Amino acid sequence: MDVISVIRTKRDRGELSPEQIDWVIDAYTRGVVADEQMSALAMAILLNGMNRAEIARWTAAMIASGERMDFSSLSRPTADKHSTGGVGDKITLPLAPLVAACGAAVPQLSGRGLGHTGGTLDKLESIPGWRALLSNEEMLHVLDTTGAVICAAGDGLAPADKKLYALRDVTGTVEAIPLIASSIMSKKIAEGTGSLVLDVKVGSGAFMKNIEDARELARTMVGLGTDSGVKTVALLTDMSTPLGLTAGNALEVRESVEVLAGGGPADVVELTVALAKEMLDAAGIKDADPAKALADGSAMDVWRRMIAAQGGDPDAALPVAREQHVVTAPESGVLTRLDAYGVGVGAWRLGAGRARKEDPVQAGAGIELHAKPGDTVTAGQPLMTLHTDTPEKFDYALAALEGTFDIAAAGTEFSAPPIVLDRIA
């Protein structure tokens, strides 16, 4: 095998053979194939695509590059969830303890934010003492004793994907559907969960801007999971508007705790319960009521045990940014649009996200929303509050927020899109 022939095959719209795929993934992981060569292959895949057999083999090769986890010793069925990323998407935080409170075990391997999309681990690290890095033994212990764990994937899990994702991020090939699907599913299949629910975001704040691309991605991932023996379902959900009323790390933790306490924004509660029902059904648990588990405090109990088991203090005060800036409504009327992407970029520029994986984030930075589409606002009323430790970033963030909202005349009828747009199974 040689990498030039593999690149040329896909450049010329050919189908990569199983042997070519196995070789190139292994060779790249070992450093035999250079970054610039894999970049060329990734771009060829972005432009020319892959068929289902190629994607399945590519995924299998990435799984084979590392270890596979085993949760067969647990007394509960396992169910996991993955989101393709959005703005204000704190759903994993209340969802994992909620599903655990209903009887499933939730081994949630999560990631960090990059660009305008937030990362679950960055959010949880705003809790004093909380640790994202666990050994496999520690992860299994937390899962066995609390029912849920949220942590970083270990270096041994699909190392080919870890290396390839970093390359895709700096070569303009993140959006390649075959590479997105194989990246997500290689980790989830190697993780060893028995069932998986995918939250595929659609809209300005998502990687998939239109529903046709989102359906293609969802079908591809559901097929990969099913072919590997993992019961897999996907929900297509709206990401044209931020989820909830916060975008930022500690801000989103605070809002998640409100949901676990029986309150919180209606859209966050609705999507959390919808995904919980799908996860429980996929795990074979038919008689649980997620809404009841939120109301009676049992999900909150699991949250507190889970945070404490990973070194965090669930009673500690969350970080608060040193500086705030309020954006007010320029006129009275009905808020009809609040663009998720603009809010996400604004929060990122305030310090809630990173431009490179090694950059630090500010725990207290982000944007707090005071109105959502459909709400009536008056001139001068606060629309959003910007939070940061570095006030020199306010102008940079405000530039990202220009043109992100529309206000129509009072009395204008507004109909919000449903949160769940489609289901793929």
312 has a pLDDT exceeding 90: yes
Statement to judge: residues 226 and 361 lie in one domain: no
pLDDT of residue 165: 83
Two tokens, residue 237? 């959900």
Does pLDDT of 358 surpass 80? no
Residues 305 and 328 in one domain: no
- Does a structural domain hold residue 60? no
Question: Measured between alpha carbons, how far is residue 286 from residues 102, 139, 276, 291, 374 in Å?
Answer: 10, 26, 11, 14, 35
Confirm whether 104 is domain-assigned.
yes
Q: What DSSP element (H or E) covers 182?
A: helix 177-191
Residue type, 198: L
Question: Same structural domain for residues 328 and 377?
Answer: yes
Single out the residue of 40, 5, 42, 32 nearest to residue 20, CA to CA. Answer: 5
pLDDT cut 90: percent of the chain above it? 90
How many C-beta atoms surround the C-beta of residue 170 within 10 A? 12
How many structural domains compose the chain? 3
Q: SS3 for 197?
A: strand
As given in the structure block, the two tokens for residue 350 are 């305030």
pLDDT at 354: 82
**Cα 101 from Cα 289, distance rounded (Å):** 10
Same domain, 104 and 240: yes
Catalytic residues: 82, 161, 168, 183, 187
Same domain membership, residue 219 and residue 243: yes
pLDDT at 88: 97
55 has a pLDDT exceeding 80: yes
- Given a contact cutoff of 8 angstroms between Cβ atoms, the answer to whether 256 and 93 are in contact is yes
Tell whether 165 is covered by a domain: no
DSSP string, 295-317: HSSHHHHHHHHHHHHTT--TTSP
Closest alpha carbon to 150 in 263, 34, 306: 306
Tokens of 421: 């747009």
Beta strands of 125-243 (E only): which ranges? 148-152, 195-202, 231-238
- Structure-token pair, residue 243: 């989820």
Same-domain status, 330 and 305: no
Residue 23: closest CA among 38, 39, 44, 45:
38
Residues, the chain, total?
Answer: 425
Domain hosting 389: range is 323-408
Residue at 171 is within a domain:
no
Could you give the strand order of the β-sheet that contains 333-338, starting from the edge strand earlier in sequence? Answer: 376-377, 333-338, 405-408
Q: Are residues 138 and 242 in the same domain?
A: yes
Q: Is 13 buried (19+), middle (13-18) or exposed (0-12) by CB count in 10 A? A: exposed
CATH number at residue 21: 1.20.970.10
The contacts of residue 138 (CB under 8 Å, 6+ apart) are none
φ/ψ of 360, rounded to 5, equals -80, 165
Predicted local distance difference test score (pLDDT) of residue 174: 81
Q: Which of these three, 287, 309, 331, is where a domain ends?
A: 309
Residue 350 and residue 374 in one domain:
yes
Integer Cα distance of 327 and 382 in angstroms: 6
SS3 assignment, position 54: helix
CATH code of residue 253: 3.40.1030.10
Give CA–CA dist 326/279, Å, rounded: 39
Residues 333 and 299 reside in one and the same domain: no
Q: What is the pLDDT of residues 224-269, one digit of tens each?
A: 999 999 999 999 999 999 999 999 999 999 999 999 999 999 999 9
CATH of the domain at 350: 3.90.1170.30
Instruction: With respect to residue 293, please indicate whether it lies within any of the assigned structural domains.
Output: yes
Last-in-domain residue among 253, 286, 309: 309
What digits encode the pLDDT tens for the residues 212-232?
999 999 999 999 999 999 999
Domain ends where: 261, 279, 309? 309
Residues 45 and 98 reside in one and the same domain: no
Residue 355: band (very low, low, confident or very high) from pLDDT cuts 50, 70, 90: confident
**How does pLDDT run across 382-419, given as a tens digit for each residue?**
999 999 999 999 999 999 999 999 999 999 999 989 99
The string over 107-116, giving b where at least 16 C-beta atoms fall within 10 Å of a residue's C-beta and e elsewhere, is bbbbbbbbeb
**Token reading at 240:** 């044209």
Q: Are residues 131 and 266 in the same domain?
A: yes
